[in-house]
Amino acid sequence: MRIPALLAAPLLALATVPAMLPAQPLPAAQQTAHQRVLPLQGGRNFRDLGGYATRDGRHVRWGLLFRSGAMSGLTPADYAYLDTLGIRFVCDLRTARERAAEPTVWRGTRKPDYWTSDALGTGGDLGRLLAPGASVTGAQIRATMIDLYRTLPETHREAYRAIFRHLADGQVPVAFNCSAGKDRTGVGAALILSALGVPRETVIADYALSDKVVDFRKAIAAQPNSPFAKMPDAVLTPLLKSDPAYIEAALDAVNARYGSVEAYLKTALGLTDADIARMRANLLE
């Protein structure tokens, strides 16, 4: 991973580690008849958002919403499996530089529409803190990550608008991804689940699940020349962690500016009441 890329887009902090490990299966107690973590040989944090209960007693349908990290490691067997899911739309939240480093070349027989975003976000403070020679503490990194998350619903609104537009129009199943599958993707998942009426504690638990699914630290250790391999543990930990405070900051920022996630969908993303009703009808049972 190169520091210049980090300076251009601070969310790439974990993104371009070439050897990110595949998703690890969850303990049996955390699995259901449907698999939360998809059984992919080369998947990276590839998860189904189905099964979550809403406040009104309904459930998110399985097999319609997928969140993921980069898909460049998917194998032919993985694509054969993904063909059975019938994914119709993929929203790639990564920058052009990230996509060039780990390109998505869909090898399934059923090719989805593929949408890309070049939003870099703000977060320059994180880049400065991680620049070579900078003196930084873990507390500073954590605070900066929280600040960064507050900006994501705005800096990536075009990508989130594309996702929600497809959901409202019934163009599902949908998959959306960034590189690690935890930051930009995590905010997208939190917005969707919140809009469907999933309780906040469940939304936060889904976000935090990345800590159990992917061993980011082991992946970085496998790249001894990476600047991240040389970082003190106290600095690295807040970068790698799916800290509930991060996703709470994003949701709190939406509520503070718009009043609710539903109001964000209407004001920032341009959805109507009818769009939101159709989306819920499409995705809930």
Is the pTM higher than 0.75? The answer reads yes
Q: What is the DSSP letter of 33?
A: S
Q: Residue 219: what pLDDT?
A: 72
Q: Any idea what the Cα angle at residue 175 is, between residues 174 and 180, rounded to 5°? A: 165
Query: Sorting pLDDT into bands at 50, 70 and 90, what band is 194?
Result: very high
Domain 3-11+33-283, CATH class in plain words? alpha beta
Instruction: Give the three-state DSSP class for 274.
Output: helix
The answer to whether 91 is a known catalytic residue is: no
Please report, for the chain, the start and end positions of each structural domain, with discontinuous segments joined by +.
Answer: 3-11+33-283
* Residues ≥6 apart with Cβ < 8 Å to 4: none
| Torsion of the alpha carbons at 235, 239, 244 and 249, rounded to the nearest 10 | 100
CA 266, 47, 42, 180 dihedral sign is: positive
45: left (phi over 0), alpha (psi -120 to 50) or beta: left
Summarised one tens digit per residue, pLDDT across range 214-244 is 887 777 766 666 667 777 788 888 988 999 9
Q: Three-state SS for 284?
A: strand
Structure-model confidence comparison of residues 261 and 23, the more confident one: 261
Which has the higher per-residue pLDDT, 190 or 234?
190
Nearest-angstrom CA–CA distance, 240 and 44: 14
Please list the alpha-helical segments (H only) found in 69-137.
76-85, 96-101, 124-129
Report which listed range, 131-140, 226-235, 262-271, is most confident: 262-271
Instruction: Indicate which residue of 178, 180, 250, 265 is catalytic.
Output: 178
| 268 φ, ψ (degrees, to nearest 5) | -85, -35
User: How far are the Cα atoms of 11, 21, 58 from residue 61, in angstroms, in the given order?
Assistant: 30, 28, 9
Q: Where are the beta strands (DSSP E) in the chain?
A: 47-48, 65-68, 89-92, 113-116, 174-177
Mean pLDDT of the chain: 85
The string of pLDDT tens digits covering residues 44-96 is: 999 999 999 999 999 999 999 999 999 999 999 999 999 999 999 999 999 99
Residue 18 confidence (pLDDT)? 38
